Amino acid sequence: MRRNVSRSDAARGDVYQIGDVAERVGLSLRTVRYYEEAGLLMPVGRTVGGFRLYDADAIERLLLIRKMKPLGFTLEEMRSLLTLRDELAAPDLAADTRAALQERLGTWVLLAEEKLSTLREQVSVAESFVGGLHDDADRRGGTA
Amino acid sequence: MRRNVSRSDAARGDVYQIGDVAERVGLSLRTVRYYEEAGLLMPVGRTVGGFRLYDADAIERLLLIRKMKPLGFTLEEMRSLLTLRDELAAPDLAADTRAALQERLGTWVLLAEEKLSTLREQVSVAESFVGGLHDDADRRGGTA
DNA sequence: GGACAACTCGACCCTAACGTCAGCGTAGGT
DNA sequence: ACCTACGCTGACGTTAGGGTCGAGTTGTCC
């Protein structure tokens, strides 16, 4: 039986506890806690008893993190990138500051594309391996 | 200055020491030793002084292992699969034995294809992430 | 037959990104 | 008050190696 914490707080500021969050984004509790430890994601608050509380933004953030994972970013890298994104999200930035941040973001884009291309290479390596396996499996008789 | 161990032994039975092997397949010495510890690959022998010696088959094997890595097999899984392949390579197998082995190989093929498809999914997740990054980077002004 | 550089050995500790377990406290419904 | 599901911290385990150490081994050159 699921608890509906969502309805407990009115006024559009829904909060979720870690189990809900984990289920929604498909990560383990441990992983969510570890991401906090790694500085990737802080809970918006805690209950009196110490339960972590998250909001919808946290869920977004976790989904984003999940998307980065296949690219092989380390948590450290993700932390940097997310921080950068956060800084860019501020609405009152001097133009030059914003430009500087955006240039740093460009570096990340390049890095991500690099990683993407190595990921693609891995797919083709994997394909050739699976092809080879098929050969091994289909060759019923002898090699000669 | 590279030692050319290859020419030291005549009669087509070339042996290489670990450094040569590692360089040829693009793995570290540590990794090659670790693979041995994990039961993936035994040296064909040792020198009097205890240096590991490998032959061309070993190199093949390592290259194969490298091809499996992108599919996310654990070393344990690779060990099983390689062992199975070794068993199938025996020339004097009863037909039913061979059939049994080949069926097990079929399971591996399925597993590999599964892993390949999740790898492909990862590529598309990664692509969408990189696309999102581009959006963030290109959006120079404000969100509204 | 000694010097020497390059190579290798086993042993050890270290890391990232979690999994898993234990022991204990909390949230909220009845 | 009680129950049960949920969560907390802390600690150790795991995988696939990386790094480093001091000590031993090879091949080569004199």
Q: Taking a C-beta distance cutoff of 8 angstroms, is the pair B16, B46 a contact?
A: no
Nucleotide D16 C1' to residue B144 CA (A): 47
Kindly identify which residue of chain A lies nearest to residue B104, measuring between CA atoms: A137
* Partner-chain contact A126 B119, CB within 8 Å: yes
Averaged pLDDT for residues A66-86? 96
What is the per-residue pLDDT for B12? 62
Q: Taking a C-beta distance cutoff of 8 angstroms, is the pair B120, A123 a contact?
A: yes
Higher-scoring residue by pLDDT: A138, B47: B47
Model confidence pLDDT, tens digit, residues A32-57: 999 999 999 999 999 999 999 999 99
Which of helix, strand or coil describes residue A16?
A: strand
The 10 Å Cβ neighbour count of residue A14 is: 15
Q: Which of A86-95, A131-140, B50-59 has the highest mean pLDDT?
A: B50-59
The Cα–Cα gap between A115 and A121 comes to: 10
Domain ranges, ordered by start, for chain A: 5-138
Overall CATH class of domain A5-138: mainly alpha
A120 CB neighbours in chain B (<8 A) are 123
Instruction: Report the residue of B130, B138, B140, B143 to disrupt the A interface, i.e. the one with the largest count of A CBs within 10 Å.
Output: B130
- Average pLDDT, rounded, for chain A: 89
Amino acid at residue number A14: D
Q: In terms of CATH architecture, what is B1-68?
A: Orthogonal Bundle (1.10)
What backbone phi and psi angles, to 5 degrees, belong to A76? Answer: -60, -45
In 3D space, the residue among B110, B114, B108 whose CA is nearest the CA of residue B79 turns out to be B108
Tokens for A142, please give them. 């002898």
What is the per-residue pLDDT for A48? 96
Model confidence pLDDT, tens digit, residues A1-35: 444 444 344 456 799 999 999 999 999 999 999 99
* Partner-chain contact B119 A105, CB within 8 Å: no
Residues 6+ apart with CB under 8 A from B39: B79
B116 CB neighbours in chain A (<8 A) are 123, 126-127, 130
Q: What is the mean pLDDT of each run of 10 residues along chain B (144 residues)?
A: 41 86 98 98 97 97 97 97 94 93 94 96 96 82 47
Nucleotides in chain C near protein beta carbons (<7 Å): 5-10, 16-20, 25-29
Q: Which nucleotide is nearest to A49 (CA to C1')?
A: C26
Tally A–B CB contacts below 8 A.
90
CB of B1 lies under 7 Å from some atom of strand D: no
Residue whose Cα is closest to the C1' of D26 = B49
What is the per-residue pLDDT for B6? 40
* Partner-chain contact A123 B70, CB within 8 Å: yes
Nucleotide D14 C1' to residue A30 CA (A): 15
What single-letter DSSP state applies at residue A48? T
What is the per-residue pLDDT for B5? 43
